[in-house]
Amino acid sequence: MKFINIARAGVAVLAISIMGSCGIYKKYETPTSTVLTKEYAEARRQPVDSAAFGNLLWEKVFTDPKLASLINLALENNTDLRNAQLNVEIAQANLKGAKLAYLPSVALGPNGAGASYAGSDLSWTYSIPAQVNWEIDIFGKLLTSKRGAKAAVLRSEAYAQAVRSQIISAVANTYYAIASVRCQLNLSRNTAALWKKTVQTMKDLKAGGRGVTEAAVVQSAANYYSILASITDLEVSLDQLNNTMSLLVNQLPQEWDVTDKVDLQVPKVLRAGVPMAELAARPDVQAAEQSLAAAFYTTASARAAFYPGLNITANGGFTNLLGSMIKNPGDWFYQLAGSLTAPLFARGQNIARLKAAKAQQKQALNSFEYTLLSASAEVSDALTVYEKSQQKSEYLVEQVANLEKSVEYTKDLMLYSTGTTSYLEVLTAQQSLLSAQISQITTELARARSVINLYQALGGGR
């Protein structure tokens, strides 16, 4: 009778525990506690827009054959991307292990021994036991572990996509930076040749008594040497950029063949604002959410530790040792047992683990929300730079055209007028033209980079 009462009490405790553990089985859902996360959750439910700029394949965005070849090379060889892909394999292996945890464990431990007492013949005993242990997942301990492992796989996949996107953008940015520096080098070298002629012209005018002083000669020479000095800086920058490209494609340093001009043609991307659906497609945002999901399941696992664990154990095999007797030949044996273990006092470890898990889950939520805000800011910055660099480029085209005429007019006035134009006006016009031409090249680079950065900011790189 007492045994029946104890059994009933145990069943009652088990039933209450099951009712109280309903929250353990809950799946992760995107939080909607704030306006930002609520908008994100709604965006995730929308169908994917394949025509959105960030969802375009990179081959459709970067159509330059030379650039496409370098991007392919980087995607094949880049060490960071390889490691990111290996992280995916590690996470998948952990997930497979979490899934197999539902199956029983089986162990086989054959053993044998011989004994002799008081000179008797050696007696041999042997046993070939097999043990099967099966944990019944009543309170979702294995389930939350599997779901957490699945979240880790999705996070590592998103991280790998983020690395892929970064590599594509880095190669494109470096490619156009090399092209930009080469354009500046060609411009500076051509300008240096023209300024060298100006120095000679100044010397000839001084020798011919045309009103040009020695000060004009040395000033024009100083200008000439200043541009030669700037050429050395450009050559250093070009070498560094080539080395950067070599690292990106994981090859020895070399000079890379790039386009002759910075001219990145892309679909029209300007608009009043960026839909949340496009931010939700960013791999870093998805990785941040999966980190939140993993933290959610870690908290669920910490809760599950407060509930009992049910194990079923079966032993069986073949042996000749029966109690204290040795029987030859041997015989089969088997045992079956079940155990329900409930934690009563664990020196506060379970409580501490749950508190820590809850705090880490809050940290993950904060990081997720910040990632969303950061993504929005990056897109806004790229859109602004793209729009303003377009306007600036148009203004610089007009400025360069006018300055080219200014240089031509001031030279003619100095050579053929009666002295109304000084050599300083000529030098000033030349310097202004060079400055505007370099600014034009760097603005084109800024425009190209804004497109690349916008593509990356919208999760591009598939």
- Residue 254 φ/ψ, nearest 5 degrees: -160, 170
C-beta separation of 63 from 266 below 8 A: no
pLDDT, residue 451, reads 85
Per-residue pLDDT tens for 345-369?
667 788 888 899 889 989 999 998 8
C-beta separation of 335 from 312 below 8 A: no
Per-residue pLDDT tens for 306-328?
877 777 787 777 776 666 666 67
Strand partners, 337: 313
110: preceding bond cis by omega (within 30 degrees): no
pLDDT, residue 397, reads 86
Lowest mean pLDDT among 73-77, 211-215, 278-282, 434-438: 211-215
- Has residue 284 got a pLDDT over 70? yes
* Amino acid, single-letter form, for residue 429: A
Q: What is the mean pLDDT of the chain?
A: 79
- Has residue 10 got a pLDDT over 80? no
pLDDT, residue 363, reads 92
- Has residue 452 got a pLDDT over 60? yes
Q: What is the pTM of this model?
A: 0.77
Q: What is the 3-state secondary structure (H, E, C) of 25-77?
A: HCCCCCCCCCHHHHHHHHHHCCCCCCCCHHHCCHHHHCCCHHHHHHHHHHHHH
What is the spatial distance between Cα 175 and Cα 195, in angstroms, rounded to a whole number? 30
Which residues fall within 8 angstroms of residue 24, CB to CB, at 6 or more apart?
139, 140, 143, 144, 300, 303, 304, 307
Distances (CA, A) of 252 to 164, 235, 245, 247, 351: 21, 19, 10, 8, 55
pLDDT, residue 13, reads 47
Most confident of 8-22, 311-325, 427-441: 427-441
C-beta separation of 203 from 249 below 8 A: no
What is the spatial distance between Cα 2 and Cα 233, in angstroms, rounded to a whole number? 93
pLDDT, residue 346, reads 67
- Has residue 241 got a pLDDT over 90? yes
Q: Is 107 helix (H, G, I), strand (E, B) or coil?
A: strand
